Structure 1
């Protein structure tokens, strides 16, 4: 069983979107969750996250979670949305350093390793973020 944990800041935009994208692919033997480095437990996914996923025919049932030791122990691989998230998670859980990567790094995408943060922006930037993540997730499933 491969267990993927996507991590962003508040666990309301990028990481739940990535979780929903990967989950919608229905890959046997792959489980997925998401969390945030500064999440408020129980928060809903943002309105534009839900809208963009609905446009793509992807269901989401989400409540934000703060990253914690239990999730870190559960996962095979932690994929962060930015290099600063990767650094934060590594500081918080140094024993997990070997399984922490940015999503783009793990996907083998070169250049800027950060996924665009759409928080507070219009739906169009959420669509751009969705497309950026879908490309990266399509690459990581080849490795799973």
Structure 2
């Protein structure tokens, strides 16, 4: 069983979308959660994030969670949305250096390693973020499965 933890800032846009996308793929051998570095516990996903997931017939029921030691220990792989998220985790949990990556870094992107934050943006921006996350998650799954 591979345990994947997606991390963003507030756990209301990118990481919950990523979590829902991976869960929707219904691939055996994967567990997935999400958390935020600066999340307020108990918030719903943003309205646009929910709309985009609904538009793609992806089930979701999200309540934001602050990143904590329990989640970090639970995860086999921690995939962050930005380099700053990665460095914040490494600063607080230096023992995670072998399992924390930006999502783009993990999938082989070498230059711009951040998934742009759609927070406060238009529905179109959330759609672009969804498309990017879906493609990156497909690549991440392939990488994990090929290394097992």
TM-score, normalised on structure 2?
Answer: 0.95
RMSD: 0.7
Q: Report matched runs for 1:60-139 at 5 Å.
A: 60-139=60-139
Give 1:98 shift. 1.1
Q: For the residues of structure 2 that align with 1:74 and 1:87, how far apart are their CA atoms?
A: 19
Q: For the residues of structure 2 that align with 1:31 and 1:143, how far apart are their CA atoms?
A: 16
Q: For the residues of structure 1 that align with 2:75 and 2:123, how far apart are their CA atoms?
A: 31
SS in 1 for 2:101: strand
In 2, are the aligned partners of 1:109 and 1:136 still within 8 Å (CA)? no
Give 1:110 shift. 2.7
Gapped regions of structure 2 (runs ≥ 5): none
4+ residue segments displaced more than 3 Å = none
User: After superposition, what is the alpha-carbon deviation per residue over 1:82-139, rounded to whole angstroms, capped at 9, x for unaligned?
Assistant: 0000001111111112100000111112320000100001111000111111111110
Give 1:55 shift. 0.4
SS in 2 for 1:28: coil
Q: Does 1:48 align with 2:59?
A: no
User: After superposition, what is the alpha-carbon deviation per residue over 1:32-84, rounded to whole angstroms, capped at 9, x for unaligned?
Assistant: 00000000000000000000000011011000000000000100000000000
**Equivalenced residues, count:** 144
Gapped regions of structure 1 (runs ≥ 5): none
TM-score, normalised on structure 1?
Answer: 0.98
